[in-house]
Structure 1
């Protein structure tokens, strides 16, 4: 050191030079500058040690290492002490416990954490719609199957061979009801009108087996169905009841299906890069600053999540309207549109209509002969059976032990027990639906009360504000895409709404419209529901809102066989058959006055 003494030879000058040299380093001079001053290597080392002691508030990263290991991270290297953070792109670039690899993996984990949290928060909602849709759908299908089985067994027993020879009329009825329920393009009222027309044709042929009834003649008969009212008032009442009940049941189950699909699709979030960046900063940048145990401030969390779920929040208004409409239709399932109360006794009601036709067969035949002409006698080639020989049986109710059973051995009495349970299910689903209102706009609040996300009830000064531990000052943004224009945490392009969310909004809008119509007993048909983003069935076949009761216009007889051909018999006499007693003339006059 003596060789470095200045001209005055003062040791103090040496010391001063050393201090100055160290001070120069502290001011940022590079090592070569010190060498230029003539300091030897040992002087540099001594100076560096002094600086380390002066500046080394660098924190130990052991707590970060433990926290990362506890979360299952596997890093190539975790610093023992803080290092310069110039390599970081999301977290602060000062002294840090994070390498570039750590920050990248934190970003990936932030995305996964958010998706998992969204999945967890929406799990109950999704499960509700999935399980209730399955439960109601299975019940309604079982109800249809049991009703058809009940009618078939009762009619075989009651009407025997005449029924079995014409059972396809009833099979077609239930096939069409099932096709409607499962989403087919079926106009319920037209289908029911066709059923009664076909039943009239078959019964008229059976009751007048002494005549040759051609296909053209049957078409003529069908034109008089509304005037004749051969089945009494049963078709009108049953049509109104079945139509309302099936519209309500099908639309309600479709509504559950749409709710299920919307919940499942929307809960699968697709996070933007800006959202992932904000989540990483909120969830894992405290690790980089050596504070892995510090959770985010609640308001800070709210701004981040509202920015990430801006589009989901826009679903809320349409979702709430949909829930309100579902609740209205649920009321119908409990009250006058109860499908079980309509379907369970349908065999009795149809049998009543058949009995009415049988009791009035003479008058009906006389009126038909007046309007369509008298058909040719069958001669000796066909049996001239009278009315009593055809539908001689009368409806005899089953005793409880004779009630038909399902394939699983469950009687219709058991099905009524199931329906009672279903009534409780209606009450249950109504409560669940009410709880799901405002679900999407409430998500940020629900997420940001989680202890694993935010500091909870900790002091405002003890939470992570995005930069350090301390109070979060920015204002919490409102819900929805347009309100995120000034979100301080997430950059949101408010001019580009999420396409998937907009499709779900449209699906809900379409379904809400159908539910409102179903509540009023009307059905609505959408030409192509996929154009509207709806996942529901294709509707009833109406191009507009169908009235509950159709006007009493003449209905063309439906085709029963594949080919209905043959010339009309213009030579048929127009007088009443000689076999009918004279009293029919008086009955016809009375009926004529009544129809007028």
Structure 2
């Protein structure tokens, strides 16, 4: 009979008893409490005491565990839900910033459009009442097109909309203002009446009855409204990108790493310990590697938005252009009146209808040169006392609001957006740090490294982006997320298109980074605060930087101007006399 090693049997029994006593000494009560509080799953899946024969796929370790396979699946769903919700909660602030300021700009644009339309309509109601009824639909059409252009909807041309208005205005001005006796010849059902109207509309740009004013108005509006349109399109691109990022899903490798970081410590009964900060950064940078790829185009996109808002609101270009429509139309009609005889003769040659009108019914005006018309002609010409290009602004609403009126002007909306948007320039690159600082990455005396409780995380912390994750030991990144790469392509394509339309926009350093101070929320340079030293320095980028070839119509180049040389002759003669007197007395000094 073989000898039995009693001491060996006793040792084995003692080890087994120690293991069983250790397993039963710890309960899973705290794990069950955390499982319930965080609404992870059903409590019946949590064991009462740790078990040693658990088949786990993520939280594997040699000792007893309070986790089961069903709990791991619940942890996977919970961590996916919570992380996605955290990402969307941070992105919601950015999405709200874009959508709210897009709406604010559109409201301001529409207010300017409505006021300018009413401004122009009032001219025809008071000064040219005979034209009001037939021209009213064309006025509505013009401002509808301008509104659609600013909104970025539809293929609308500002130049086409402006010239269409003047094409339809020409027959009315020619037959009701220049030649009142022909008032009934346009709009009749007769063949001749329709033929004359069609001829005048089709030949308006060749006859040029309104001088330089239609082209000046079209060029000014196209230049001023272009930045507003691109700003509306840019806001749409930003919202589209944010919507695309919300549909991005976390990979399986990321989900496993998140479970290991958040809940594998629970399996050992450690429900209060936090992940090490370096460990958290590696996990989150691996999970959000494709998000970080958006950083460079997104940063340029935010700079584009800031430059566009400054161009739109910086020098009141858009307000002046819209409010200037009334004056341009007045000047155009006045030009046609003052050149009535020449205009009638040209129409006779081209359309051959004006000669049928009795000369006694045609109101003519003396031919004009660069000198102003006689003062008594102002009684015959409506609005002749407003020959200046800027005279129409005298009756417009003031661009500078009083301090008691705190309504949001374009400049105030632009300043608010620039101030807030600067905080989100690096949104996608710092998103991992933001998530870790918000909930997980707090280093105490000890922290969780994914495998055990340690004093500090010793592995290498990788950088951001897909390429940097090759050295990541916590998350395996197989490649870029196609959904987020589509968002990146959207941003890059828009940034390239903006350079084709408005070169230089978005390529400069943002004005908030160049400014030496912070702007007060209650002080605006519109309120006379520009000398207080508290406002942010405006960037050098202006509309002139991106449209250097824009057509500039000089007031002195217009055919109806006031010659100021006569007024300066007495002063010039006086100066010459003084110089001659000093020269004669020079030998005696």
TM over 0.5: same fold? yes
Q: Name the residue aligned to 2:112.
A: 143
> CA separation in 2, counterparts of 1:50 and 1:304?
37
Contact 1:230 1:356 in 2 (8 A): yes
1:61 aligns with 2:32: no
- Asked if 2 retains the 8 angstrom alpha-carbon contact of 1:75 and 1:102, the reply is no
Counterpart position of 2:453: 469
State the structure with more CA Rg: 1
For each residue in 1:135-174, what CA deviation from the matched residue of structure 2 results, as whole angstroms up to 9, or x when unmatched? 1112212321222123213321221122323323322212
1:432 to 420, 426, 444: 420
Asked if structure 1 preserves the Cα contact closer than 8 Å seen for 2:55 and 2:68, the reply is: yes
Question: Residue 313 of structure 1 contacts residue 441 of structure 1 at CA under 8 Å; is this kept in 2?
Answer: yes
- The separation in 2 between residues aligned to 1:355 and 1:518, in whole angstroms, is 35
- Alpha-carbon distance, 1:367 to partner: 3.6
Q: Which residue of 1 aligns with 2:493?
A: 510
Runs (5+) with no aligned partner, structure 1: 1-5, 8-12, 28-47, 405-410, 523-544, 553-596
Q: For residues 304 and 62 of structure 1, what CA distance do their matches in structure 2 show?
A: 29
Q: CA deviation at 1:300?
A: 0.9
How far is the alpha carbon of 1:348 from its aligned partner? 2.7
- CA distance in 2 between counterparts of 1:130 and 1:145 reads 22
Q: Any conservation in 2 of the 1:234–1:350 contact (CA below 8 Å)?
A: yes
Which residue in 1 is equivalent to 2:266?
287
Q: Whole-Å Cα distance in 2 between the matches of residues 551 and 394 of structure 1? A: 24
Q: 1: CA distance between counterparts of 2:504 and 2:160?
A: 15
Q: Matches of 2:76 and 2:385 in 1, distance apart?
A: 75
The alignment partner of 2:440 has SS state of coil
Give the TM-score taking structure 2 as reference length: 0.72
User: Which of these residues, 346, 349, 374, is aligned with residue 328 of structure 2?
Assistant: 349
Q: Residue 449 of structure 1 aligns with which residue?
A: 437
Distance in 2 (alpha carbons) for counterparts of 1:130 and 1:161: 44
Q: How far is 1:482 from its partner?
A: 2.3
Question: Is this contact kept in 2: 1:340–1:419, CA < 8 A?
Answer: no
The answer for unaligned runs of 5 or more in structure 2 is: 186-191, 366-378, 387-393, 506-545, 554-589
1:124 aligns with 2:93: yes
1:458 has 2:444 as partner: yes
Q: Distance in 2 between matches of 1:449 and 1:51?
A: 39
| Structure with more contact order per residue of length (Cα contacts < 8 Å, sep ≥ 6) | 1
> Which residue of structure 1 aligns with residue 279 of structure 2?
300
Q: Does structure 2 conserve the Cα–Cα contact (< 8 Å) formed by 1:111 and 1:271?
A: yes
Corresponding residue of 1:176:
145
1:133 is displaced (CA, Å) by: 0.9
Within-5 A mapping of 1:79-478: 79-84=47-52, 86-94=54-62, 95-182=64-151, 183-206=153-176, 207-208=178-179, 210=181, 225=204, 229-336=208-315, 338-370=317-349, 372=350, 374-375=352-353, 377-378=355-356, 384=361, 386=363, 393-394=382-383, 421-450=409-438, 452-454=439-441, 456-459=442-445, 462-470=446-454, 471-478=456-463
- Cα 1:188–1:85 change in 2 (3 A) is farther
CA distances 1:338-395 after superposition (whole Å, capped 9, x unpaired):
312221242233122212221222222234445x264364468x9945369x995338
Instruction: Count how many residue pairs are aligned between Structure 1 and Structure 2.
Output: 481
Give me the CA root mean square deviation.
3.8
1:418–1:233: structure 2 CA closer, same or farther, 3 Å change rule?
farther
Q: What is the DSSP-based 3-state SS (H/G/I as helix, E as strand, rest coil) of the residue aligned with 1:441?
A: coil
